[in-house]
Amino acid sequence: MESNRQRKFRVLVLVLVSFFTKALASDIFPKAQRVAWSSFNFKSMLTWSPNPTNYSYTVEFSEMGKDRERTPHCIRTMETECDLTAELKNLRASYNADILSEPKRGVSSDLVEFPHVTSERFSPYYDTLIGRPEFKIEVNNDMRKTTLFVTDVPTALFKNRNERLNIRDVFGDDLLYKVTYRKAKSTGKKEKTSKSSIIELTDLDQGVSYCFNIQVYLPSRDQDKRHGELSHIQCSPEEGTSVFEEYGTGVIVGAIFIIILAITTIIIVIVMCCRRRKQPKNTGKEGLPLNSV
């Protein structure tokens, strides 16, 4: 019967063997470093380093509390990224991933457990970055109302493989748009939040040009992830804009100078032509001197 001392010794030996085996494995198959999630408009990538030499990487991922899965294009790969967009089906769930360092394809090993690194948690719904929206400006005839028509940003997600989803399809009522606007000749700003992609503004001064920025706003997220990228600035036209305001003084003065120069040149050419026509001809008898008597 095994004594207590023998059992302790056996456990110690197993611990030491396991330790040295893992240390040796880490030398042969270095662990991945700088593991990070990156996601833009729901295109979700897992990235890491360094580039492998005589080994490969395998990615395992799982929804929190569920079994781990693998995707075929990220098994024993020589790449340092894995596209998991189509694999993270429950967008509101949290996921983590393990990156295992393994032998190359076709190479066997006696190791049972390979070195691995676990990523941070990631949720597509709450962590993906949202790009800048596009929009059009429409001012009604009496210049009292300006309407902004926002195009919902398309995502990398598909329904039934051929129908691309936009952010409205994904976020539903959680999706808001924040408009920042100001007079074109002022720095003072105002903000308006809208649930709709058609945003009407009626508090603007009549006939005055305004400039607009729009971005996605998701109040259900953490504070630092609530806003999407700012759109490009667009400005509405101004009613009754003078020529000097439209083109600038320098352009107008230059145009006037060119016109005056052209008119002066034409007048000079006309005067010279008239003088040449009035000069007497010096050929024939009329041009000879009178004979003396």
For 183-235, how does the pLDDT look when each residue is reduced to its tens digit (9 = 90+)? 998 889 999 999 999 999 998 988 899 999 999 999 999 999 999 999 999 99
- DSSP single-letter state for residue 206: T
**pLDDT exceeds cutoff 70 at 13:** no
pLDDT for residue 109: 81
CB–CB of 78/58 below 8 Å? no
Give the integer Cα–Cα distance in Å for 88 and 156: 12
Classified as helix, coil or strand, 82 is strand
pLDDT for residue 290: 45
pTM exceeds 0.85: no
Give the C-alpha distances (Å, rounded to integers) separating 88 from 23, 124, 144, 221, 238. 33, 8, 47, 19, 48
Give the integer Cα–Cα distance in Å for 189 and 210: 10
Give the C-alpha distances (Å, rounded to integers) separating 3 from 7, 8, 10, 17. 6, 9, 11, 21
Listed range (83-97, 145-159, 236-250, 279-293) with the worst mean pLDDT: 279-293
The chain-wide mean pLDDT, for the chain, equals: 85
Asked, as a colleague might, if the bond just before 52 is cis with ω within 30 of 0, I would say: no
Among 32-46, 97-111, 238-252, the range with the most confident prediction by mean pLDDT is: 32-46
* Domains of the chain as residue ranges with CATH: 20-127 (2.60.40.10), 134-244 (2.60.40.10)
pLDDT for residue 161: 79
pLDDT band per the 50, 70, 90 thresholds, residue 17:
very low
Q: Residue 158 has which token pair?
A: 């598909």
Half-sphere exposure of 217 (CA within 13 A, CB side): 15
User: 95-102 and 56-63: which strand pairing?
Assistant: antiparallel
Q: What percentage of the chain reaches a pLDDT higher than 70?
A: 82
Give the integer Cα–Cα distance in Å for 12 and 14: 5
Alpha helices (H) in the chain, listed in sequence order: 4-28, 124-127, 167-171, 243-247, 249-278
Q: Which residues contact 183 (CB under 8 A, 6 or more apart)?
A: 205, 208, 209, 210, 211
Closest CA to 123 of 222, 215, 230: 222
Average pLDDT of the segment spanning 82-98: 97
Helix (H) and strand (E) counts in the chain:
5, 16
CB–CB of 182/211 below 8 Å? yes
Q: What percentage of the chain reaches a pLDDT higher than 90?
A: 62
Average pLDDT of the segment spanning 230-244: 78
